[in-house]
């Protein structure tokens, strides 16, 4: 990042438009001096020196080194719009940054193209340098704390941010988080796997019980079959006996039926004869009636002769009918007596047929039961098939569960590996960065007159338990001190030299790590607490630094510095109309 030019108006003590071209400055150390004509008693204070440097910061990042913005940076007395233009050259682009307040506006021209509105985050990307990195590599502001003035946690945050170590820390944290998540996943998979294995063992155990149940069922079926077979055999034997009894009684039954037919025929004839006899008796009774006028038989008129003749005829007919009845009754009695002799055979026949029918039904029931028994499906086959299917399914799920556990364990191992790998890589980068920081800072210490002094830097170390102890520490080794002591222990002048050395060393580290070759470096009132000799050493060191680095170093100081190594002086004068940059006065 190289500054080309600055145009500013309405900013802090500047009212009218002021322009400053950095490209006109040759490499060297420049004194940014001030004169306060509005309040002469302040001499160089309040003239606008810091405002000129802060203008660069505000145009690039939208805030000053003290995080002031908006109304806090506008000129309090002027109606001029607060704004300006900063031209910057980066490794990739030439940028024209246009910024105003009230209204808030930020536009950027890239490589001469028309300016377009952008967000500050996008501008930071184009600049290739964050706000924090800018304050610790190019602009050492008067009221901004130096790197070693920060609290350990702040030093860690700044160091990680500007050195790009946050990426590895985030990657390590992400890998550790992933490892913890995977550990929980592995635990869940293992619990699920244990459940599946328990179910599998339970199902396999149930099949053993199933075998015992099936054996009992088969034994019961065999016993039932034997019982039914025995029943059928007994029924068949009983049927054979009953059939023989039936066959034996069949002849007598046949004779019984033959005599029964005869008896029934004689009974019918006897009934006819008895009916005829009763009819004749009725005719005789009618012929004996005194009230008759006509013959009840032929219908002729009644006469004594005719009555006598009809009466004789009826008496004769009755005699014949009675004889027939007597004969039929005798035959019926004889046949009935003979029928009785065969009735026992008939009853035996009927009983035997009933027994045979009953036994046949029993035999059919036994045979049907045997047939049904033979066709009955083994209920344990289906249960065993279902159990085996469950075993197979559970075995597949167990296999998949084991695979998931193995895969998750492998992923967990990989996450743990990368978590440690990222941590180790970050620690390695830190060690390397600290080594470079130590070299740069100690080189500056010598230039500042602190010979045989040394600054030591450390950020974090792995503890014996495997954890990491975080914290940025700065220690100092001095020729008259045994061992090292914290840099905060030193007096104002000594600590200021240590502060400057650490700041410039950190600046070199940032630039080298980020591939930056800035053409300008700003130091605002760095001589505070320094003695005359200390100031001379500082200026000599900065002048040599500017020549060696081929850069412009602008040092703002309210005092008239007597140093012959300045490449020139930049004067800022505060008048009633506002601060004015009078430009460069070369020496």
Give the chain's end-to-end CA distance (angstroms, integer): 27
pLDDT of 464 above 60: no
**pLDDT for the residue numbered 243:** 79
Mean confidence (pLDDT) of the chain: 85
Q: Are 260 and 268 in contact (CB under 8 A)?
A: no
Chain centroid to CA 540: how far? 65
- Residue bearing the bigger pLDDT, 408 or 157: 408
pLDDT tens figures, 58-90:
999 999 999 998 888 988 777 788 999 999 999
Q: Is the pTM of this model over 0.85?
A: no
Query: Quick one: pLDDT band at residue 18, thresholds 50, 70, 90?
Result: very high
Q: Of 436, 558, 451, 567, which is closest to residue 502 (Cα–Cα)?
A: 436
> Distance between CA atoms of 32 and 180, rounded to whole angstroms?
56
Phi and psi at 95, nearest 5°, equal -115, 140
> Distance between CA atoms of 7 and 224, rounded to whole angstroms?
114
Chain centroid to CA 427: how far? 34
Largest CA distance in the chain: 208
Percent above pLDDT 70 for the chain: 95
Q: Determine how many CB atoms are found less than 10 A away from the CB of residue 152.
A: 14
Q: Are 46 and 126 in contact (CB under 8 A)?
A: no
Q: What is the DSSP letter of 151?
A: -
pLDDT tens figures, 393-426:
888 888 888 888 888 888 888 888 888 887 888 7
pLDDT of 97 above 60: yes
Q: Are 133 and 95 in contact (CB under 8 A)?
A: no
- Arithmetic mean of pLDDT, 280-296: 74
Q: Are 158 and 136 in contact (CB under 8 A)?
A: yes
Query: Quick one: pLDDT band at residue 573, thresholds 50, 70, 90?
Result: very high
**pLDDT for the residue numbered 160:** 77
- Residue bearing the bigger pLDDT, 208 or 441: 441
- Residue bearing the bigger pLDDT, 37 or 314: 37
């Amino acid at each position: 990042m190289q500054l080309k030019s600055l145009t500013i108006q309405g900013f802090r003590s500047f009212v009218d438009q002021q322009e400053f071209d950095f490209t006109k400055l040759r490499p060297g150390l420049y004194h940014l001096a001030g004169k306060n004509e509005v309040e002469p008693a302040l001499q160089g204070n309040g003239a606008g020196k810091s405002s000129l440097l802060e203008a660069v910061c505000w145009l690039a990042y939208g805030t000053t080194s003290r995080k002031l913005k908006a109304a806090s940076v506008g000129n309090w007395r002027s109606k001029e719009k607060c704004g300006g233009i900063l031209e910057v050259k980066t490794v990739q682009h030439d940028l024209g940054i246009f910024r105003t307040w009230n209204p808030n506006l930020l536009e950027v021209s890239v490589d001469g193209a028309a300016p377009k509105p952008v967000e500050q985050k996008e501008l930071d990307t184009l600049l290739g340098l964050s706000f924090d990195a800018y304050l610790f590599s190019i602009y050492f502001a008067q009221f901004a704390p130096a790197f070693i003035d920060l609290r350990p946690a702040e030093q860690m945050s700044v160091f990680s941010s500007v050195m790009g170590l946050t990426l590895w820390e985030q990657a390590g944290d992400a890998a550790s988080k992933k490892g913890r998540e995977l550990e929980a996943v592995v635990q869940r998979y293992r619990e699920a796997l244990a459940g599946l294995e328990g179910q599998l063992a339970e199902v396999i155990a149930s099949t053993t019980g199933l075998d015992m149940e099936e054996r009992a069922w088969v034994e019961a079926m065999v016993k039932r079959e034997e019982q039914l077979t025995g029943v059928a055999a007994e029924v068949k034997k009983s049927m054979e006996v009953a059939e023989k009894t039936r066959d034996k009684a069949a002849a007598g039954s046949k004779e019984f039926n033959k005599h029964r037919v005869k008896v029934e025929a004689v009974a019918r004839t006897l009934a006819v004869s008895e009916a005829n006899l009763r009819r004749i008796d009725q005719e005789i009774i009618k012929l004996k009636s005194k009230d008759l006028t006509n013959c009840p038989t032929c219908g002729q008129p009644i006469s004594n002769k005719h009555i006598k003749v009809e009466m004789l005829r009826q008496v004769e007919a009755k005699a014949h009918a009675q004889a027939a009845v007597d004969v039929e009754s005798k035959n019926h009695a004889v046949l009935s007596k003979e029928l009785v002799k065969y009735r026992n055979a008939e009853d035996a026949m009927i009983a035997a047929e009933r027994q045979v029918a009953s036994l046949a039904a029993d035999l059919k029931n036994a045979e049907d039961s045997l047939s049904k028994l033979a066709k009955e499906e083994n209920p344990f086959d289906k249960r065993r098939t279902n159990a085996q299917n469950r075993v197979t399914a559970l075995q597949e799920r167990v296999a998949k569960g084991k695979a998931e556990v193995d895969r998750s364990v492998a992923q967990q191992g990989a996450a743990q590996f990368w978590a440690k790998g990222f941590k180790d890589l970050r620690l390695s980068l830190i060690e390397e960065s600290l080594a470079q920081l130590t070299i740069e800072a100690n080189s500056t210490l010598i230039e500042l007159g602190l010979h045989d002094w040394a600054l030591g830097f450390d950020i974090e170390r792995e503890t014996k338990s495997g954890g990491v102890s975080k914290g940025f520490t700065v220690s100092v080794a001095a020729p008259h001190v045994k061992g090292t002591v914290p840099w905060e222990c030193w007096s104002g002048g000594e600590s200021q030299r240590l502060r400057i050395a650490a700041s410039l060393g950190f600046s070199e580290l940032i630039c080298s790590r980020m591939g930056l070759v800035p053409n300008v470096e700003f130091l605002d009132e760095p001589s505070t607490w320094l003695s005359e000799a200390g100031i001379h050493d500082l200026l000599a060191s900065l002048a040599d630094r500017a020549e060696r680095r081929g850069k412009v170093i602008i040092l703002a100081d309210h005092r008239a510095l007597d140093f012959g190594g300045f490449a020139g002086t930049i004067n800022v004068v505060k008048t009633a109309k506002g601060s004015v940059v009078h430009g460069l006065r070369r020496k």
